[in-house]
A and B are shown apart, each in its own frame.
Chain A
Amino acid sequence: MLPRTSAGPAEIDDRWRAVQDTMRRNGFRGDALIETLHTVQNVYGYLEEDALIRVADALNVARSRVHGVATFYHFFHLKPNGKHVCTVCTGTACHIQGGQALLDHVADRHKLMPGETAAARDLTLLTVRCIGACALAPVVTVDGDILGHASAHALDGRLDEVIAT
């Protein structure tokens, strides 16, 4: 029997309380896993390993299963993002309106591959397959704000503005 490396006596902080609230609202049932992981990501900023272990214990779900679910879905990330997030849409409409060129431009300028974070500038570059604003292609979001009909110039301006703050 493998030793159960517990996360230790749970430090009751506000973040963990929020996660417990979600689990309680769903009766601590196993099917609450995805809802719970959303809360973990919202409050911790990412799926922190410690939190995942505690969730597995609380929901009485195998840790391997929690890990399997956490790594299956694109929306969940197991590493923290930078302070600012630039997401380039790579959906069909955006692709034919030059989305790839935009992605290459940002990657080049900030020396980042999609999925990476530049520690110096605290910027993460991500891609997403269609956020549903196709009539405004090509679309980029910066810290959650949508920039439609995005041009390299406008995007540079927005990123510089946001990073400077």
Chain B
Amino acid sequence: MTSEELHQVAERKREQNAWLTAEARVCTGTGCLSMRSDQLATALQQALEASGKADRCRVKRVGCIGLCAAGPLVSIAPDGTLYQKVQPGDAPPIAASLGEHPVERLRLPPDLPFFARQQRIVLSHCGAIDPADVRDYIAAGGYSALARALTQMTPAEVIKEVADSGLRGRGGAGYPTGLKWTTVAKAGNNARYVICNGDEGDPGAFMDRSIMEGDPHRIIEGMIIGGYAVGARKGYIYVRAECPLPIERLSRALREARRMRLLGSGIFDTAFDFDVEVRVGAGAYVCGEETALIASIEGGRGTPRPRPPYPADYGLWGQPTLINNVETFANIPPIIEQGGAWYAAFGTSGSPGTKVFSLAGQVRNTGLIEVPMGTTLREIIFDIGGGMLEGRSFKAVQTGGPSGGCIPAEHLDTPVEYERLHALGSIVGSGGMIVMDDTTCMVDAARFFMEFCKDESCGKCIPCRVGTTQMHELLTRFVERTAEPRDLQLLEELCDVTRHTSLCGLGQAAPNPVLSTLRYFREEYTERMAVAEAAPA
């Protein structure tokens, strides 16, 4: 496959689409799929054939359109009409409406803030292309960034573009991606590996799985570019076992890519060889931590290792390894295509670019969104998110999963960026955002997260193994209203010890929900004490 041939594949696919006057795109992300959107797509196809429009209209199964609360969703191209809560019985009227007047009772308002306020870079193809068809990806411009990188740029130039973009790791740590790539590229003359961390384990987060389901080739392309930049020959995508759909879509995409010679030896007729394999996890949150993930790929228990040495120097099988999150890799093709400076113009100077968030909890518009960094929490929850559910009032938003914190109403105007959320005692994390209302007990929420950390602790180091257990026990006393002032003191001490002495991020961040709820909702702890807390001396 040469660049010219890639161009021809794209052209041929676009020509095949030229006969189309309208296309009904049915969302087949996990959420809509669980509401039988697959049957809906079949019903729509049958309705098209019955109405005689199948020669100029077609049904396409696409990835997550985003507004999961209104699913199953169907979007109509090219006019952009969006239908909500579509059932198979709605297929005949929708088929009849294609190319004519929309079906008003199903239609979502055309300029909903939910869509209008988003900036979809990572999700630009999700909801538009068929994730099971590589030609659809190519026709939308896919793999041209890879062609450009391999045939017109040196590895150093690729790394420079990524560094100029200011992209920071989207898995949660926010480490500068360009710096990581530079470090791996410089590490000795050994075999190198690329790993894509698809072990999205934060409860409440479904960004990565949606990207894997809706645009798997984007991730593959990003990984190959990464491999070229650091001098690797082999890549692994580590996916949770609990997610069969991403595994299936990625595996299929890899087979297609190999068939088209976009993976394998001599990619784009250059000397560069690269292949990717899917590795399935087995249900361990700790395997989202990079060294534990590596231990898992090596066939062992998912226990982390002390760092340094970092994977960039000593990673998979002791070799220099580039490990990045799904969303981080998904940002690479547009950065190479349009330039690092283009990307850096979005977001803020400290946190350039956009971020994908999964909005869940007691908010109206639950679903998947992508906004520039620097968008405020208020805009995300009340404009894009549509505000609280009927009759509920806002209490806090939990960001960053079990490693994050709860942010109360007084800070809603905070721009979402790495340093600002950190100053509030939370983190951006992988992008999960859970909106909590006035019926939520914050002590219960803190205990819930601690129970999670306790169950997921790998058991290797004492501060985490014992610390999470003891903190959970203490939090239970507060929930059951049997706590005493010294329990509060002990809880705070344990938070400190666990944070500073645990081996890996799981233990180090486990106290965060407790610390953040103590900071903003201390009275919920003190009113649950059997004996009142003494006034500070």
A-side residues, CB < 8 A to B, are: 29-35, 37-38, 61, 65, 68-69, 72-76, 90-97, 128-137, 145-148
Contact = CB atoms under 8 A, between A and B. Distances in A.
B428 to A, nearest CB: 16
5 contacts: A34-B279, A72-B302, A74-B283, A132-B30, A134-B204
B31 A73 contact: no
B317 to A, nearest CB: 8
A96 B436 contact: yes
A134 B362 contact: no
Interface string B356-377: 0011111000111000000000
A81 to B, nearest CB: 14
Contact of A34 (B69, B282, B458): B282
B69 A75 contact: no
A129 to B, nearest CB: 6
Nearest to B69: A135
A92 B361 CA distance: 8
B34 A133 contact: yes
B201 A148 contact: no
B496 interface: no
Contacts of A92: 203-204, 360-361, 398, 401, 432, 434, 448-449
Contact of A96 (B35, B200, B280, B434): B434
What 10 A-B pairs have minimum CB-CB distances, sorted nearest first?
Answer: A91-B203, A135-B68, A75-B283, A74-B283, A146-B34, A73-B282, A135-B366, A130-B203, A31-B299, A93-B360
A34 B243 contact: no
B280 A132 contact: no
B401 A76 contact: no
Contacts of A72: 282, 284, 301-302, 458
Contacts of A130: 201-205, 242
A127 to B, nearest CB: 10
Given A35-B280, A134-B366, A135-B68, A93 B452 contact: no
A135 B243 CA distance: 16
Nearest to A130: B203
Nearest to A72: B301
Given A34-B280, A69-B299, A134-B206, A129 B201 contact: yes
Contact of A133 (B206, B285, B298): B206
Interface string B173-214: 000000000000000000000000000111111100100000
B296 A34 contact: yes
B347 to A, nearest CB: 25
A74 B282 contact: yes
B148 to A, nearest CB: 33
Contacts of B205: 130, 132, 134
B106 interface: no
Interface in B401-432: 401, 432
A127 B209 CA distance: 20
Interface string B279-293: 111111100000000
Contact of A129 (B285, B358, B434): B285
Nearest to A87: B242
A106 B376 CA distance: 40
B267 interface: no
Interface string B297-326: 111111000000000000000000000000
A78 B238 CA distance: 23
A61 B299 CA distance: 10
A31 B242 contact: no
A145 B35 CA distance: 10
Given A38-B241, A72-B284, A148 B31 contact: yes
Contact of B360 (A33, A76, A134): A134
Interface in B80-106: none
A129 B242 CA distance: 10
Contacts of B359: 135
A131 to B, nearest CB: 5
Contacts of B283: 73-76, 128
B301 A95 contact: no
Contacts of B296: 34
B393 to A, nearest CB: 15
A93 B361 contact: yes
Contact of B242 (A32, A75, A96, A148): A75
Contacts of B71: 135
Nearest to B398: A92
Contacts of B31: 133, 135-136, 148
Contacts of A75: 241-242, 281-283
A131 B242 CA distance: 6
B440 interface: yes
Contacts of A96: 361-362, 434, 436, 440, 445
Contacts of A37: 282
B284 A148 contact: no
B301 A93 contact: no
Contacts of A94: 203
Contact of B284 (A33, A74, A93, A146): A74
Contacts of A61: 299
A86 B241 CA distance: 17
B436 A93 contact: no
Nearest to B366: A135
Contact of A148 (B35, B280, B362, B368): B35
Interface in B126-181: none
The listed residue with most B CB atoms (<10 A of its CB), out of A65, A75, A92, A147, is A92
Given A74-B283, A92-B448, A129-B201, A134 B358 contact: yes
A18 to B, nearest CB: 16
A128 B203 CA distance: 10
Most-contacted residue by chain A among B68, B201, B206, B302 (CB, 10 A):
B206
A40 to B, nearest CB: 12
Contacts of A146: 30, 33-34
Given A93-B434, A95-B448, 8 more contacts: A34-B282, A75-B241, A92-B360, A92-B434, A93-B361, A129-B455, A130-B201, A148-B34
B209 A132 contact: yes
Contacts of B458: 72
Given A93-B204, A96-B440, A128-B242, A137 B284 contact: no
A74 B457 CA distance: 12
